[in-house]
Amino acid sequence: MTGTQRREEIVNTIRSSMVPVSGKELAARFDVSRQVIVQDIALIRAAGYDIISTNRGYILNAPSQAERVFKVNHTDEQLEDELCSIVDLGGKIINVMVNHRVYGRMEAPLGITSRRKVKEFLEDIQSGKSSPLKNITSNYHYHRVEADSEETLDMIEDMLRQKGYLVEVQ
């Protein structure tokens, strides 16, 4: 088992445990020293996991929601379909982001959780308040989407792919 695989298993072990998991227990399970576990925990934290050390062991402070960023491309006419398709599958559209070649990364919060919110958003756009952020990057943009599970995010990703909105990232 490589170090990367071991760290993935450590995260899965801590995530699935109902009680804190001690470093000693992890060291025995993965047949490494306690010091290796301490180093692994530091690397796991550096990777963005919120691992908390308690006097009884490690716990993962993870949100109950799963989250993913999708790179998409579509026309203004397809905007409503894209947003409604995501919320219909249980997704919450947290934001929209673009990477502009001159201005860099620009991001705007959306908080779209329902068809009603999609309608309100589209009314704001259509009233002339502004135009979609995607228009400054030839329709390429990103959405950070939250859902109740990775499976729901997989369904959203499949739907975006089927409709031709998903941009496959190499």
134-150 pLDDT, tens digit each: 989 999 999 999 998 89
Q: What percent of the chain has pLDDT over 70?
A: 98
Is the pTM here over 0.75, yes or no? Answer: no
Task: Label the pairing between strands 92-100 and 104-112.
Answer: antiparallel
- Mean per-residue pLDDT of the chain: 92
pLDDT value of position 18: 83
pLDDT value of position 146: 92
Residue 97's CB is within 10 A of a number of other CB atoms, namely 18
114-134 pLDDT, tens digit each: 999 999 999 999 998 788 989
Q: DSSP states of 138-167 as a string? A: TTEEEEEEEESSHHHHHHHHHHHHHTT-BP
Q: DSSP states of 40-96 as a string? A: HHHHHHHTT--EEEETTEEEE---SSEEEEEEEE--GGGHHHHHHHHHHTT-EEEEE
> Which residue ranges form the domains of the chain, and what is each CATH number?
3-60 (1.10.10.10), 66-162 (3.30.1340.20)
Q: Which of 111, 118, 106 is nearest to 82 (CA)?
A: 118
